[in-house]
Structure 1
Amino acid sequence: MATGTIRYWAAAKAAAGAAEEPYQAVTLAEALDAVRAAHPGELSRVLQRCSFLVDEQPVGTRPHDSVQLTEGGTVEVLPPFAGG
């Protein structure tokens, strides 16, 4: 099991009530399941629209249970941003 940091941005940060928190998980899916359990409600809804970076690499369309997390790694939670 790896430990690291989940960083929230924009609407995800507001919904989590924090800029970051630690994770303990093997995969991105496990980390997100733990986040949903710890923050039921708005953050769970926001996560459905987010994209993710794991150790600065875009997850894209890969299944979250196939994305391995690393010890000391970082997961960035990026909601859609308005442009203009």
Structure 2
Amino acid sequence: MPKVTVRYWAAAKAAAGIAEEPCDAVTLAEALAAVRERHPGELPRVLRRCSFLVDGDPVGTRPHETVRLAEGGTVEVLPPFAGG
């Protein structure tokens, strides 16, 4: 099973209480399920509004079950940002 780093930004970082953490997961869906379980408070609600980058590539509207993760990869969790 690939080991990846999940990095949290802005509100996701505040909700998780950490900037990043390791995770073992084959797909983005598995990684998100794991972090929801580790951080059951505010993070699951924040994740519903987030967008994700996997190894620098936007996930967009692809189903998270279809987004495969690679050993040593990175999942960036990006909440909506205010523009200006």
TM bucket by the smaller chain?
A: over 0.9
Q: Flag as ranges the 4+ runs of structure 1 deviating above 4 A.
A: none
Shift of 1:4: 1.3
Alignment-derived partner of residue 8 in structure 2: 8
- Three-state SS of the structure 1 residue aligned to 2:69 is coil
- CA distance in 2: counterparts of 1:20 and 1:81, whole angstroms: 19
- CA distance in 2: counterparts of 1:48 and 1:4, whole angstroms: 21
1:30-81 residue CA offsets vs partner (Å, 9 max, x unmatched) = 0000000000020000000000000000000000000000000000000000
Alignment-derived partner of residue 26 in structure 2: 26
Shift of 1:25: 0.4
Gaps of 5+ in 1: none
Aligned residues between the structures: 84
Gaps of 5+ in 2: none
- Three-state SS of the structure 2 residue aligned to 1:26 is coil
Shift of 1:15: 0.4
Alignment-derived partner of residue 38 in structure 1: 38
Alignment-derived partner of residue 79 in structure 1: 79
- CA distance in 1: counterparts of 2:48 and 2:4, whole angstroms: 22
- CA distance in 1: counterparts of 2:40 and 2:8, whole angstroms: 15
